[in-house]
Amino acid sequence: MTETPAFYEEEHEEFREVAREFTTREVAPHYAAWDAQHMMPRSLWTAAGGAGLLGLAVPEEFGGMGLTDYRFRAVLDEELVRQGALGVALALHLHDDWVLPHLLAHGTDEQKRRWLPRMLTGELVTSVAWTEPGAGSDLRGVRTRAVRDGEEWVLTGQKTFIGNGISGDAALVLARTDGETGRAGEDALSLFLVHKADSPGYGTGKQLDKMGVRASDTAELFFEDVRVPAVNLVGAEGGGLRQIQQVLPQGRLAVAVAASAVARSTLADTLRYTGERTAFGSRVLDFQHTRFELAELTVEVEVVEAYVQRAVHAFNAGTLDVVGASKAKYWAGERARSVTDRCLQLHGGYGYILDYPVAQAYLASRLLTIFGGTSEILRETIGRAVADEA
């Protein structure tokens, strides 16, 4: 087989040293406690900002480094997952891969000067508030509404499954601005960055008790006649759905990259475990069944990596569309779930013990087929594209 060019270059490996030092010092010793507490400290965000790990794509004019090459974000994900800290990776995704692209693409210069420097330092932690109890992946079913009142909008509604919902300072809220109550049309929804501290009526519900990735807080949000300054409208009035479609490839690519990292890390842990664990006088790795399983898993992980890396190259070239990102996210998420399941089986009883990384990976990987668009929605997106091309 012809050797393919290396995915990472020297500058990415230099960045990896910074990311690895940070995760080893700031994350690894504490992550189990955060998982038990269902919350990461705010000091982690400021530490990440101080290490230059937040807002990599923010232009230099706003204090950032302007690193639009997504391979740098992939390096950070790999190092976090290597420490078993997928919860940190996904929390950063919400901030950097879902909110930030909207501000970079559609924010005014005034908004960028006001918000981006604080996002870089971790002083301003953000989340996306799109899903609702009656509207998960179906954003046209959103019922939260915003009504214009002079130089403000009055926001009323409820959101659920909001990552960083408790720890975050501001949420990018999707709301109806057409005054209607039926299913939203193309120009019915708008996006607002709503700051918790400055917004009476902005309430946080109970923290949702998740089966995995518990260090990343998830909650319900409530907006009761919250007055939002008109200058906090992000993009055009009525342009929310189009803006989300525009940045969706990056959000889904982020999940695909994380899923690939989870699959690779879990396989590496399983290779080590089966090489050390003995049964009936032999290493578990020496049984033919184990070798066959690991052979299949190795090929599966390498195929996922190659596919996701192709999507990263397409994103860097500006050619990754929603369908392409949906394919990468669907394939990587489903394979991560399959790989962790089979690796857990190879651990035997120890695989069911939460002290072992494979058990945590098994629980975490289940989210990767849901977060950022369920596999069912992704298949529908891909299927429509296939039918249109037929």
Please tell me the distance from the alpha carbon of residue 229 to that of residue 154, in angstroms, as a whole number: 9
Distances (CA, A) of 228 to 71, 96, 166, 193: 36, 23, 19, 8
Tokens of 48: 């990440």
Each residue's pLDDT tens digit, 248-307: 999 999 999 999 999 999 999 999 999 999 999 999 999 999 999 999 999 999 999 999
Report pLDDT for 180: 80
Report pLDDT for 183: 77
Please tell me the distance from the alpha carbon of residue 354 to that of residue 187, in angstroms, as a whole number: 47
Provide the percentage of residues in the chain whose pLDDT is more than 90. 92
Of the residues 236, 269, 284, the one at which a domain ends: 236
Report pLDDT for 271: 97
**pLDDT of 80 over the 90 cut:** yes
* Of 191, 172, 194, residue with least CA distance to 128: 172
Secondary structure (3-state) at 160: strand
Q: Tell me the CATH number at 74.
A: 1.10.540.10
Q: Same domain for 243 and 232?
A: no
Q: Tell me the CATH number at 304.
A: 1.20.140.10
Q: Same domain for 307 and 204?
A: no
Report pLDDT for 2: 54
Each residue's pLDDT tens digit, 164-202: 999 999 999 999 999 887 777 888 999 999 999 989 999
The chain-wide mean pLDDT, for the chain, equals 95
* Mean pLDDT value across residues 88-99: 96
Tell me, rounded to whole angstroms, the distance of Cα 382 from its chain centroid: 20
Which has the higher per-residue pLDDT, 1 or 128?
128
Contact 101, 235 (CB under 8 A): no
Q: Same domain for 112 and 74?
A: yes
**pLDDT of 152 over the 60 cut:** yes
Report pLDDT for 140: 86
Q: Same domain for 161 and 260?
A: no
Number of domains composing the chain: 3
Report pLDDT for 182: 73
Contact 192, 232 (CB under 8 A): yes
Report pLDDT for 135: 80
**pLDDT of 1 over the 70 cut:** no
Report pLDDT for 4: 65
Domain hosting residue 298, numbered range: 239-387
